[in-house]
Amino acid sequence: GGSVLPVLVVTPDRQTFNSLEPVVSLFLDGVRQLPLKAQAPKTSVTIADLVGEWRSGGDSSLDYVTPSGAYAGSSTVAHGASYIIAADGSYKSQFAGVANRQIVRGGGVGTVELGSGIIGFRERGGKLSRYRFVSYQTALNGATVLTLLADQYEANAANVSFYGEKWVREPKQ
């Protein structure tokens, strides 16, 4: 809305703040102004929590210049993915991406596997994509936001901030 809720975080130094940033972000994502109620993030998920269509995406573009400052070209990368998860733990995924005018499309079907802090997507044929579970929260508009970190990255504040993926499930109408 048109309101601001000031929040002050005091730490002894930047390194301490950086280490606390994921927790601070989760807290801030849950703050609500009355009459809405604060939403604490979930610390674990079940298949029932994941049922529905989730979307994620990202993009990056760079412009290159010569030492004199003249334009020398550009590079663009973008992707979008969706996972439709059923109550029985099966899923269907779709992916589309572009890298410098090269288009990539794909998809798959498989099953969702849950472990201690891990969400896995096992495609038929055996390929397993694993993510560290970071958070599961309800946004102000009623959408659900699932934050995941690919398991090749150590679960620390810097990696969650830089490599963490936000998956969104729109609210039910």
In this prediction, residue 33 carries a pLDDT of 63
Q: Which residue has the higher pLDDT, 119 or 125?
A: 119
Token pair 């979930």 is at which residue? 42
In this prediction, residue 3 carries a pLDDT of 67
Low-confidence winner among 50-54, 67-71, 155-159 (lowest mean pLDDT): 155-159
Q: What is the pTM of this model?
A: 0.75
Tokens of 148: 């995941």
Report residue 1's pLDDT band, with 50, 70 and 90 as the boundaries: low
Instruction: Enumerate residues 6+ apart whose C-beta is below 8 A from 167.
Output: 54, 55, 56, 83, 145, 146, 147, 148
